[in-house]
Amino acid sequence: MKKILAIGLSVLMTAFLFAGCTKQAGSTTSEAQNTSGEKFVFKHGFDLDYPPYSYRNDDGEMGGFDVELCQAVCEYNGWDYQPVPFNWDAKDAELSAGNCDCIWSGFTRNGREDDYTWSISYSDNTQMIMVPDDSDIKTLADLEGKVVGVQTATSAYDLLNDEEGQLELKNTFKDLKVYDTYTIAFNDLQVGGIDAIAIDVTSGNFLMNSNKGYHFLDDVLGSEQYAIGFRKGEEELCEQVNQALLALVENGTYDQIGQKYPDIYEYLCLKPEGQE
């Protein structure tokens, strides 16, 4: 009984904390850029449901490669770091309302080039098809007449709905099921609700690490780059982040953080000069 109470209380408190968080984020504006005296607060907008880039880690804290890298950038620039976890569907509203300064959460720039001011790309990303080991699906062509799952508002989803992407392939599917999160899509794959999942290689690796019996098809669905999206026209802020990123690459911090995330390490595309 006590335990239940304790859990209930902590849930409530977390809720309050979050409420406080967002309020704070909403009330500050980005005008304080680089004014002397007060420290600039950099508001990092991200989705807490996108491991391993940004998620609630095993300790229950906000973490992930993007979160750590952003914190390093802030430290380098002498800014205060402020996390602004948001609902992925509301990212544009959050950004344009000034609740956050950037969208930095495994955010694909391909296809959105004109919608944001983009930083340099810091990670490659490939979209793959994940199937159970005993599946008879061996190539993309085998997906004909199958049910495929994908998470809403992801690059894999966009790719499958893009005429210049894989729309044609999608039209061979029996059905494309759209999930709120990949976790549920993966569960559905496990219980036989779908035959395959279209997913970023990094997210896919993350899922397969904790669940044996699944693999990617050799055929690649598509590839793209992750970068940081700023409000259109905020070139100055973007440039400051770019400079910090490059510096962190040079001093090895970027690599150090990357090593903590073996699922994505091989896709991190920034290398110190002379190591290309």
Partner 1 sequence: MTFPTMLMTMASGMLRTILLFILTLLGSIPFGMLVVACKKSKFKPLAWLTEIYIAIMRGTPLMLQLLVWYFGPAYLFGWKVGKFSIFGLEYRFIALLIGFVLNYAAYFAEIYRSGIDSMPVGQYEAAEILGYSKPQTFFGIILPQVVKRVLPAVTNEVITLVKDTSLASILTYEEVFSLAKQISASQTSFLPFVVAGVFYFIANYVVAWIMKALEKSMQYYK
Contacts with partner 1 by CB under 8 A lie at: 88-89, 92-93, 112, 115, 149, 152-153, 157-158, 161, 177-180, 184, 187-188, 190-194
Report the residue number, 29 or 190, with the smaller CB distance to partner 1: 190
Nearest CA among 138, 147, 194 for reference residue 170: 147
φ/ψ (deg, to 5) at 148: -115, 140
Report the residue number, 82 or 105, with the smaller CB distance to partner 1: 105
Nearest CA among 68, 156, 78, 69 for reference residue 120: 69
CB of 153 to partner 1, least distance (A): 3
CB of 184 to partner 1, least distance (A): 7
Name, in order, each residue with C-beta under 8 angstroms of 256's C-beta and a sequence gap of 6 or more: none
Report the residue number, 89 or 236, with the smaller CB distance to partner 1: 89
CA dist 133 → 1, 65, 139, 225, 264 (Å) = 43, 29, 13, 28, 22
CB of 181 to partner 1, least distance (A): 9
Report the residue number, 1 or 191, with the smaller CB distance to partner 1: 191
CB of 79 to partner 1, least distance (A): 27
Residue with tokens 């073996």: 262
CB of 192 to partner 1, least distance (A): 3
Name, in order, each residue with C-beta under 8 angstroms of 187's C-beta and a sequence gap of 6 or more: none
Report the residue number, 82 or 166, with the smaller CB distance to partner 1: 166
Nearest CA among 40, 93, 82, 83 for reference residue 240: 40
Distance, CA of 251 to CA of 248 (rounded, Å): 5
- In degrees, to the nearest 5, what angle opens at C-alpha 155 toward C-alphas 248 and 94? 70
Report the residue number, 47 or 68, with the smaller CB distance to partner 1: 47
CB of 6 to partner 1, least distance (A): 17
